[in-house]
Structure 1
Amino acid sequence: MKHLKCNIAALACAFVALLSQSCKEKAATGAAGNYKTITASPSACVLEKEYTAILRGVQSVEVRPQVSGTITKICVSEGAHVKRGQTMFIIDQEPYRASLRAAEADVSSARAAVASAQLELEDKRQLRRSGVVADYDVSQAQCTLDEQLAALRNAEAKLAAARTDLSYTEVKSPADGVIGMINYRLGALVSSSIDEPLTTVADVSSVHAYFSVTESEAQRLVADHGSLDKAIATLPCVKLRLGSGEELSAEGTVDAVSGNVDEATGSVAMRATFANPSRILFSGGSATIVIPYKYTNRIIIPQEATYEIQDKKFVYRVVDGKTKSKEITVEPLSDGKRYVVTDGLKKGDVIVAEGAGLLSDGMEIKVKK
């Protein structure tokens, strides 16, 4: 009886083991079955890399007064176009006109004093030739003339300053462009030390888009082209995507790269310029720079066909119907969807195109229809 129980227990264990093995085989077959595959073949593609950008007009200038006073007239409106030298604000001119008149009077007085000193000097010289006065008297008259000439030059300098100050009461546009918000109204007391500018003038006929790339990307540009200047010259035209998702019709060019790495972010600043004749772009706005990189005669694979182990990338080739892992190297640039393979695959290799992380070596593959 005891022997019979042992046999029954042994049979039960064997059945469980066989059932478990059968389940594992079915699970393995199910995990590896019906996977999409692709055949490696050189082709051309364009990978796009996106970067967040801040927009600035090619020129954006703060307009500040150079003299103190109250605003008596505002000659422009917000958002209007202005030309360089166009009057925008007028600051109370009466105090500066009075100063100018006083300076003109001082100059006239100084000129009269110079004329009087010159007459005195000539008189002393005549008397010296007649022996009436000594050389000392002539020298004293010459010193008096020199003093009056210095006083005249000082008065003329003050007159020039008074004229300049009066001209500064007309605050003019420093550049062609579009006026921003006006921060002060009629009657406001302003000076050169005000916290906020009167307004800003931005030239947005063209717009600079500032963005940053990683230090490694900048180093790769230099390594590939030999210098930053050569890298800039060979970079492709770039696109600009607005916050609405719409792409600007005109392409731009990358025309400047910073020579410094931002210590806080480890990034390198770059600048692209876009024409903006219709004023679609606003200074201070945000957008996305899209840089296309073109590749020809390269093997392109989807990223989901790969898996990583210790920063190394692998794919599963299909050899005689079974999976076989293969390490590959790819271009550092990626658009988040595809990789450009530089080594590890050759034309005609068949690889599993999806779910590589769920596979292992030696699993049977059934091609998904």
Structure 2
Amino acid sequence: MKRIIGVILLACTMCLSSCKNREVKETLPLCRVMTVAAKAVEINESYSASIQGRQDIDIYPQISGTITELRVYEGKTVRKGEVMFVIDQVPYRAAWRKTMADVHAAEAQVETARLEYRSKQQLFAEKVVSEYDLSTAKNALAIAEATLEQAKALEEDAQNSLSYTEVKSPSNGVVGTLPYREGALVSASMAIPLTSVSDNSEVYVYFSITEKRVHSLLRQYGSHDEVIRQMPPVRLQLNDGSLYDGQGHVESISGIINRKTGTVSVRSIFDNTNRTLLSGGIGNVIIPHREDSVIVIPQTATTELQNKILAYKVAEDGCVHSCELTVEKLNDGKDYIVRSGLAVGDVIVTEGTGLLQDGIQIDIRKDEPSK
């Protein structure tokens, strides 16, 4: 009887052990994996940028007076030399006429002094007057001529002042805000300009790149001029997230490093004939470049822990081990470029990494290698 009971207990123990092993095997997490491979990708580098018109000119009056005519409106496109404001011309026209009269009077004085001098020359030749009288007449003529020149200078200044009553656009562009209207008293010393004119048929887009990136480009191409020549066309992402239709190109790279930021200023230029881009706006410059052999993995193959990006490598025994990665986001928003932490041929888990722990064993379902 005891032998029978022993046999039964042994059978039960073996059955329980078999069920336990089967349960352990059945509870292994089923994970998709992939074999890491290298491929060629096009990478978009994005840099914060500011937009500035080719010329943003503040318009100030050069004289004082009351605005009598306002010939432009906000947002109007003006041509170089077009009259924008007219300042009260009456006092300046009167001052100009007075200086013209002074010029005529001075011219008459010069003629009189010249006649007097010629007369004294004849009388001196006939020994009727002394040399002193001749010199006095000559000096009087010189004083009259100097007075005429002074009068002409004042007349020219008055004419310039009169011309300044018409405030003209210094360049082609678009009119900005108009804080002053007809009847407003303005002067050359006021703090706020009459308006501004923005020549934004082309716009400058400024951004900064790191000193490290500059040195990398210089090593690659040899000189600043060659770097600029080899730079690909750039795109502009506007503040609302949309892409500007046209492409731009890098026009210059500063030779000075900003000590506070450790960056170098770069200027690109975009055509803006449709006036879509506004001076003073912000956005992002996108510069594409191609890398022929980089490791790319899906973002789902990683997990973030304490500001570290981790992936799980699968060992030959089916156990997983975490590794820290240095990554960059790829343009599609779904993949990472791995700069360090993985090598070609490594097998990694592609899904459910947040549920894994170091050293656990998994049941493997393979994905196709990254292409």
| TM-score bucket of the superposed structures, by smaller chain | 0.7 to 0.9
Please tell me the root mean square deviation across aligned C-alpha atoms, in Å: 3.3
The one-letter amino acid of 1:236's match is: P
* Aligned: 1:339 with 2:337: yes
- For residue 47 of structure 2, give the secondary structure of its aligned residue in structure 1: strand
Whether the 8 Å contact between 1:303 and 1:339 is mirrored in structure 2 is no
Q: Tell me which residue corresponds to 2:93.
A: 97
Map of 2:363 onto structure 1: 366
Cα deviation code 1:230-281 (max 9, x no counterpart): 2222222221122222211211112222222333333322222221222221
Sort the Cα spacing of 1:261 and 1:246 in 2 relative to 1 into closer, same or farther, 3 A. same
**C-alpha separation between the residues in 2 aligned to 1:232 and 1:313?**
35
Of 260, 264, 282, 2:260 maps to 264
Contact 2:325 2:338 in 1 (8 A): no
Residue aligned with 2:197, SS:
strand
Aligned to 1:5: none
Q: Using structure 1 for the length normalisation, give the TM-score.
A: 0.80
Written as runs of structure 1 = structure 2, the 5 A alignment for 1:1-369 is: 33-302=29-298, 317-320=313-316, 321-323=318-320, 337-339=335-337, 341=339, 345-346=343-344, 348-353=345-350, 364-368=361-365
Contact 1:118 1:145 in 2 (8 A): yes
- Alpha-carbon separation, structure 2, partners of 1:282 and 1:123: 73
Residues 266-320 of structure 1: per-residue CA shift (max 9 Å, x gap): 33222222212222211112222222222224333346757999x9998654442
Distance 1:256 1:342 in 2: 33
The aligned amino acid for 1:351 is I
Q: CA deviation at 1:322?
A: 4.3
CA distance in 1 between partners of 2:302 and 2:234 (Å): 29
Equivalent AA in structure 1 for residue 237 of structure 2: R
Identical-pair percentage: 42
2:329 and 2:336 in contact (8 A); partners too = no
Structure 1 regions of 5+ residues with no counterpart?
A: 1-21
The SS at the match of 1:142 is helix
1:121-168 residue CA offsets vs partner (Å, 9 max, x unmatched): 111111111112222222222222111111111111111111111111
1:17-40 Cα distance to aligned partner (Å, 9 max, x none): xxxxx9xxx7xx96xx44443323
Letter in 2 for 1:84: K
Say which SS state the counterpart of residue 287 (structure 2) adopts.
strand
Give the gaps of 5 or more residues in structure 2. Answer: 1-19, 367-371
Distance 1:227 1:277 in 2: 32
Residues 65, 87 of structure 2: 8 Å contact kept = yes
**Aligned equivalents of 2:143, 2:30: Cα separation in 1:** 106
User: Partner of 1:4 in structure 2?
Assistant: none
Amino acid at match of 1:216: K
Structure 1 residues 316 and 135, CA gap change in structure 2 (3 angstroms):
same
Distance 1:255 1:303 in 2: 36
Stretch of structure 1 that moved more, 146-155 or 39-48: 39-48
Letter in 1 for 2:85: F
Classify the secondary structure of the residue corresponding to 1:186.
coil
User: TM (normalized to structure 2)?
Assistant: 0.79
Shift, 1:53, TM fit: 1.9
**Distance between the aligned counterparts of 2:103 and 2:74, measured in 1?**
42
Rounded to whole Å, the distance in 1 between the matches of 2:340 and 2:92 is 74
Report the CA distance shift for 1:333/1:249 in structure 2 as closer, same or farther (over 3 A): same
Cα distance in 2 for residues equivalent to 1:55 and 1:288: 10
Question: Residues 329 and 344 of structure 1 are in contact (CA less than 8 Å); yes or no, is this contact kept in structure 2?
Answer: no
Contact kept, 8 Å, 1:222 with 1:231, in 2: the verdict is: yes
C-alpha deviation, 1:218, in angstroms = 3.1
Change (3 A) 1:273 1:355: farther
